[in-house]
Amino acid sequence: MSEGVVRLGGVTDFPPDPVIVAGLRSGDEEVFALLLDEWSRGMLRLARSYVSTAASAEEVVQDTWLAVIRAVGTFEGRSSLRTWVYRILVNTARRRGERESRTIPVSSVDGERPDGVPPERAEGGPEGAALAGEVRALIDKAVGTLPSRQRAVITLRDMEGYGSEEVCEILSISPANQRVLLHRARAAVRDHLAAYYDGRGGP
């Protein structure tokens, strides 16, 4: 079944869209697993911009993949496959986020704070690592306080490293709007870091 599909072992180039799409349509599990492992981390992060807990974000990502499995036969290649998948994700996450905000106070979900991931302990080691862990926790927290539109843009641009064109397409926003959202988000993160380095605690 996977004849005609490039061997996917190793860390070489990610196969081009037509190869991936053909693999998905023909039921090549290796191709699907590759996609899952390449894209799910970024998808979880992006989903977290719209929903209130990590568990909820994981459900959004699962629902998105199930929709991709159902709909890959209709993919026409008018955007890249990644953009197409991410657009499904954004729609799914937005809908769920709206539902959550109508039904439950975000602060009470699972006892998890809505404004960030719990700070990670630095893996033992020298003071430098502890400091880096503290800065990471601080940035996580800063990102967690951003409005969802800003958070989505900074997640894609700075955490995932996507180009501005793809980000505009995924989020259906103009280049000017994308830049404003990104700039506000970055400035907010910078403010948190500056306050930390000034030894003033938080803003």
Partner 1 sequence: MNCDEFAELVTAYLDDALDDSSRPLFLDHMARCSGCTGYYGQFTAAITALGELPAPGLSPKARSHLLTAFREASSEKPE
Interacting residue ranges for partner 1, rule: CB under 8 A: 26-27, 29, 32-33, 36-37, 40-42, 44-45, 54, 58, 61-62, 65-66, 69-70, 120, 135-136, 139-140, 143, 154, 158-159, 161, 164, 179, 182-183, 186-187, 189-190, 193-194
Closest by CA to 146, choosing from 81, 95, 190, 110, is 190
Q: How far is the CB of 94 from partner 1 (least distance, A)?
A: 20
Pairwise CA distance, residues 18 & 86, whole Å: 17
Q: What is the DSSP string of 86-122?
A: HHHHHHHHHHHHHHHHHHS-GGGGGG--TT-PPPPPP
Residue 101 Cα to chain centre, angstroms = 20
The 8-class DSSP code of residue 34 comes to H
SS3 call for 9: coil
Shortest gap between Cβ of 196 and partner 1 (angstroms)? 11
Instruction: Report the residue number, 106 or 193, with the smaller CB distance to partner 1.
Output: 193
DSSP 161: -
Give the residue with the Cβ less far from partner 1, 90 or 167: 167
Cβ proximity to partner 1, 98 vs 120, nearer residue: 120
State which H helix or E strand residue 17 sits in.
helix 17-25
**Shortest approach of partner 1 to residue 29 CB, angstroms?**
6
Q: Residue 17 or 140: which CB sits closer to partner 1?
A: 140
51 vs 61, beta carbon nearer partner 1: 61
Closest to partner 1 by CB, 99 vs 183, is: 183
- Smallest gap from Cβ 83 to partner 1, in A, equals 19
Min CB(102)–partner 1 separation in Å: 25
Task: State the angle between helix axes of 164-171 and 81-103 in degrees (0 to 180), rounded to the nearest 10.
Answer: 50
Name the minimum Å distance from CB 93 to partner 1.
15
Count helices and strands in the chain by DSSP H and E runs? 8, 0
